[in-house]
Amino acid sequence: MTDYLAREVDRLASAGAGLALLSANTPHLVFDEIQQRVSVPMLSIIEATCDAAVSAGVRRPALFGTRFTMESAMYPEAFARRQVAIVLPNEKEQAFIHDKYMTELLVGTVVDETREQLLKIAAALKMRDGADALILGGTELSLILREPEAAGLPVLDTTQIHVDAAIDWLLRD
């Protein structure tokens, strides 16, 4: 995956791109390796989300995403550098989130019962683990969790945050 993505980023750079994005969370597993191999600057969805969380005063955001995103160290490590602790769903909750992500959201299916269960998981993370925000660490999660709050937690939509950061970067002086 690293070779493929680095090659494609270089193709974009050769075509005149001045900035590259990996517009999904899970591929950020290899973001650092790609960034080291390409000539164009890259903007990380994880770092942009961390900046947004810190700016909002978030200290313990919960993370929803694919199993790969929730189990990897990429969010906890990036956020720990800024003294922010990632709160993860337990194993059963992660299995539910991943299953619904892969079998429903990736094909564009939005089910009310799934939304309700996701909100219950968010509420549990708030009560059980002291979560103070919810990171939608999967670009399809905003299809089902569309409100600015979920279970009383402010939502950090990584897709929107990444787009906003890219626009800010492109419009800077």
Asked whether the beta carbons of 85 and 58 are under 8 A apart, the reply is: no
CATH number for the domain harbouring residue 16 = 3.40.50.1860
Do 31 and 53 reside in the same domain of the chain?
no
pLDDT band, very low/low/confident/very high, at 94 (cuts 50, 70, 90): very high
Based on the fold, state whether residues 143 and 99 are members of the same structural domain.
yes
Asked if the model's pLDDT at residue 66 lies above 80, the reply is yes
Q: Specify the number of domains making up the chain.
A: 2
Share of the chain above pLDDT 90, in %: 96
Across the range 149-157, mean pLDDT stands at 98
116 and 34 in a common domain: no
Torsion-angle region of 130 (φ positive above 0: left; ψ -120 to 50: alpha; else: beta)? left
Is the model's pLDDT at 144 over the cut of 90? yes
Domain identity same for 79 and 130: yes
Same-domain check for residues 62 and 22: no
Retrieve residue 4's tokens: 């493929």
Q: Are residues 40 and 50 in the same domain?
A: no
Give per-residue pLDDT as tens, 95-123.
999 999 999 999 999 999 999 999 999 99
Q: What share of the chain in percent tops pLDDT 70?
A: 99
Residues 39, 102 within the same domain: no
Q: Are residues 77 and 30 in the same domain?
A: no
CA separation, residue 1 to residues 22, 46, 106 (Å)? 12, 18, 20
| 98: its two tokens | 């991943």
Cα(165)–Cα(172) distance, rounded to whole angstroms? 10
Within 8 A by CB and 6+ apart from 147, the residues are 155
Residues 17 and 100 in one domain: no
